[in-house]
Structure 1
Amino acid sequence: MTKKIIAFALLSFIAGCANAQFADSIKMQLLKDWNRSKEYTLSYLNTMPANAYSFKPQDSVRTFAQQMIHMAQGTVSLMAAGTDVKIPGIINRQNLENIPSALNADSVKYFITLSYDYAISSLTTFNMANSFEYVRRGNFNESRLAWMLKGYEHQAHHRGQTTIYLRTAGLIPPNEKLFDN
């Protein structure tokens, strides 16, 4: 009987260690992806000339700057739902994408950098054991991990949308950075 208890305890310990290693592996991959995406997005910002941040390919869409500001605020909001880390006040303003002083090249780069730094920092301190804790936001009830993945998807979606802005402005978008070099 004692051998069975010891064997069960040992197996439980090993399973717990394996789960912790798995969670750490997921976290490390997410951090790697967020850092790569930050670099990639900054290369998009550096490709668009500062005097063209107000460019939009047609009248019914956001400007390049507004797309990026929307991306920054959405990323922070979704990551906050996932990690429960307080959002920096300056990026938590309503309608930031409609405030002219936020739309110049330097401001956009500042807010984009702030949003990625927030995502990376909040993920770094996040306890992956809480990944499947559910968080309700409005009509949506998702796991913390799902909120974080939606934050990643959101930034990739909006960065991808700005590819057409660069091409329509006669610029060549940065090469994909799907894997680290």
Structure 2
Amino acid sequence: MKAQLLTTLGNAKDYTLSVAAAMPAEHFSFKPTEGVWTFEELLHHVGYGIGWWEENFIRQQPSDWNPPAATTGKEASIAYLDQAFIALKKSVENMKMSDQAVAGFYATIDHVTHHRGQATVYLRSKGIVPPEYIY
């Protein structure tokens, strides 16, 4: 089961980072309409969310939702997101298998998927074809 979780995580990481990389650096501050995050804020939310969901639902260590200021720029945004995935992988590798931990993992991945879908819309709004989906 843990091998399957790690495969799912690897696919989610690879695809999410490829979606992030597809946006040119000059468009990281783009947002398709008022009232939504910029692309870099969206990626930061995904990265912070990975850590928050992991902490609360995989490691079962309650913490408040208190995100730091969003990273800015393509390089910093992708690095932040990558580090979040690296930390999640370590937690999955070390987690004690339980229904609650597995449910927490899938809740985390669901959150990533939800916002990654938004990121692909941002790409389309700039006329960029998103990378092919990886599963």
**TM-score (norm: length of structure 2):** 0.90
Structure 1 residue 94 and structure 2 residue 94: aligned?
Answer: no
Between the aligned partners of 2:65 and 2:27, the Cα distance in structure 1 is 24
- Structure whose CA Rg is larger: 1
Between the aligned partners of 1:30 and 1:95, the Cα distance in structure 2 is 26
- Consecutive unaligned residues in structure 2, runs of 5 or more: none
Structure 1 residue 32 and structure 2 residue 7: aligned?
Answer: yes
The answer as to whether partners of 1:79 and 1:148 remain within 8 angstroms in 2 is: yes
Per-residue deviation, 1:85 = 8.0
Give the number of the structure whose residues are more often strand, by fraction: 1
The answer as to whether partners of 2:32 and 2:125 remain within 8 angstroms in 1 is: yes
Deviations 1:90-116 (A, max 9, x none): xx99343x44xx121111111100111
RMSD, aligned α-carbons: 1.9
Per-residue deviation, 1:59 = 1.0
Structure 1 residue 104 and structure 2 residue 53: aligned?
Answer: no
Cross-structure match for 1:78:
53
Per-residue deviation, 1:45 = 1.4
Structure scoring higher RCO (CA < 8 A, sep ≥ 6) equals 2
Deviation >4 Å, runs of 4+: none
Cross-structure match for 1:11:
none
1:59 to 17, 28, 34: 34
The answer as to whether partners of 2:48 and 2:67 remain within 8 angstroms in 1 is: no
SS at match of 1:28: helix
Aligned residues: 133
Between the aligned partners of 1:156 and 1:93, the Cα distance in structure 2 is 19
Cross-structure match for 1:170:
127
Per-residue deviation, 1:31 = 0.3
Aligned partner of 2:80: which letter? F
Deviations 1:134-164 (A, max 9, x none): xxxxxxxxx2322221101001111111111
Cross-structure match for 1:49:
24
Deviations 1:116-138 (A, max 9, x none): 1011110001121xx13xxxxxx
**TM-score (norm: length of structure 1):** 0.68
Cross-structure match for 1:126:
95
Counting aligned pairs with the same residue, the percent is 29
